[in-house]
Amino acid sequence: MINIQSLEYNYSKKINIFKNINLQFSSGKIYGLLGKNGVGKSTLIKNITGMLFPTKGNCEVFGLTPGKREVEFLQDLFFVPEEYYLPNLTIKELITIYKDFYPNFDENQFDTYTKEFKISKDKRVTELSLGQKKKILIGFALSANTKVLIMDEPTNGLDIPSKITFRNMIKDAFKEDRIVIITSHQVRDLDELIDAIIIMHDGQILLNQDKDAIAKKLQFELSENEKDDPTILYQEKVSNGFASIQKNTSDTLGYVDIELLFNAVLANKLKL
Ligand SMILES: Nc1ncnc2c1ncn2[C@@H]1O[C@H](COP(=O)(O)OP(=O)(O)OP(=O)(O)O)[C@@H](O)[C@H]1O
């Protein structure tokens, strides 16, 4: 479990990025961490990965303090940042050097990904396109089989078929003892993949809910015309009509429109 208690972080004395954040991430779930630009998603992730230290409060990952950067912690957490550097080596050399940092690294699993992506392991990293580099990094991240996997905007730079492959790769590699955290502005890329949604806004966590719990309570609908119905909790115009949210009065779990939910939560129209 990742346990964040009363977290505050300041880059400078004047600006508080977080207002006393309390947040838990449980094993066996894929989390979608959402929020507008500059809200502090990367800062939160860097506190979890031990790249930044809390100004106040605590952050624990499976009982370990990230800031101490103990081997036990580092070998069981993989972070795919939005911007990254890969040394100028062949993929084969890269694997040989870096796999030993991760005791559960599965080379056969990595080979399956390179075959799927049709990227030769003899290629140098500098010979790869941006999207191909990203695929190699994500393939490595999944093959490392760490208990915690965090990805910042992983689908940036991936073409449409690769986004589908990405979703399938995450689903196939996912195990019940893992925590996966994904941040993305491309919320449609997270559809069908994530189990829980976390929405950050103005230094706080506005929503932290399992997708099933949301589907149990709320019904998402698309209609041709605007609805004049007092039971509608939120409604907005979309390209092909009106998208709305209302209470789910049935026993069935429908589709959760993450983008609509995000807008609704930020507009403060939903008293969840
Ligand atoms: N190194 C830094 N020094 C000073 N301020 C910073 C630094 N990094 C980020 N910030 C500020 O902290 C706030 C949160 O930034 P952060 O990168 O965590 O947001 P984010 O939610 O990840 O944004 P985005 O969606 O644009 O990637 C922003 O106001 C940003 O300007």
137-157 tens-digit pLDDT: 999 999 999 999 999 999 888
- Sign, CA torsion 6/12/14/16: negative
Band (pLDDT 50/70/90 cuts) for residue 16 is confident
Domain limit, last residue, from 202, 227, 243: 202
206-260 pLDDT, tens digit each? 999 999 999 999 999 999 999 888 889 999 999 999 999 999 999 889 899 999 9
Residue 10 lies in a domain: yes
Report the number of distinct structural domains present in the chain: 2
Q: Does any ligand 1 atom lie closer than 6 A to the CB of residue 139?
A: no
Instruction: Verify whether ligand 1 is closer than 6 Å to residue 240 (CB atom).
Output: no
- Chosen domain end from 175, 202, 229: 202
Boundary (domain end) residue, out of 202, 221, 254:
202
The pTM assigned to this predicted structure is 0.94
Specify whether 90 is located in the same domain as 134. yes
| Per-residue confidence (pLDDT) for residue 70, from 0 to 100 | 97
Is 108 a domain residue?
yes
Task: Kindly state the average pLDDT of the residues 112-135.
Answer: 92
> Which residues contact residue 149 at a Cβ distance below 8 angstroms, ignoring those fewer than 6 apart?
77, 78, 80, 141, 142, 178, 179, 180, 181
Range of the domain at 49: 2-202
Ligand 1 centroid from CA 255, angstroms: 32
The whole-angstrom separation of Cα 145 and Cα 179 is 11
ipTM of the prediction: 0.98
Digit-coded pLDDT (tens) for 157-199? 888 888 888 888 898 888 899 999 999 888 888 888 999 999 9
47-71 tens-digit pLDDT: 999 999 999 999 999 999 999 999 9
Whether 141 and 32 share a structural domain: yes
Identify the pLDDT of residue 271: 65
225 falls within a domain: yes
Is 17 touching ligand 1 by the criterion CB < 6 Å?
A: yes
In this prediction, residue 36 carries a pLDDT of 94
| Residue pLDDT, tens place only, 83-102 | 888 899 999 999 999 999 99
- Of all protein residues, the one whose alpha carbon is nearest to atom 13 of ligand 1 is 38
Element (H, E) at 58: strand 56-61
Assign 215 to helix, strand or coil: helix
Instruction: Burial-class residue 34 by CB neighbours within 10 Å (0-12, 13-18, 19+).
Output: buried
Instruction: Please name the residue ranges forming H helices in the chain.
Output: 41-49, 71-74, 91-98, 107-117, 130-143, 160-173, 187-190, 211-217, 258-266
Q: Among 41, 185, 199, 205, which residue has the most ligand 1 atoms within 8 Å of its CB, making it the best to mutate?
A: 41
In this structure, are 52 and 24 located in the same domain?
A: yes
Contacts 24+ apart (CB under 8 A), 169-176: 169/113, 169/116, 169/138, 169/139, 169/142, 170/30, 170/142, 173/109, 173/142, 173/145, 174/30, 176/27, 176/28
CATH number for the domain spanning 101: value is 3.40.50.300
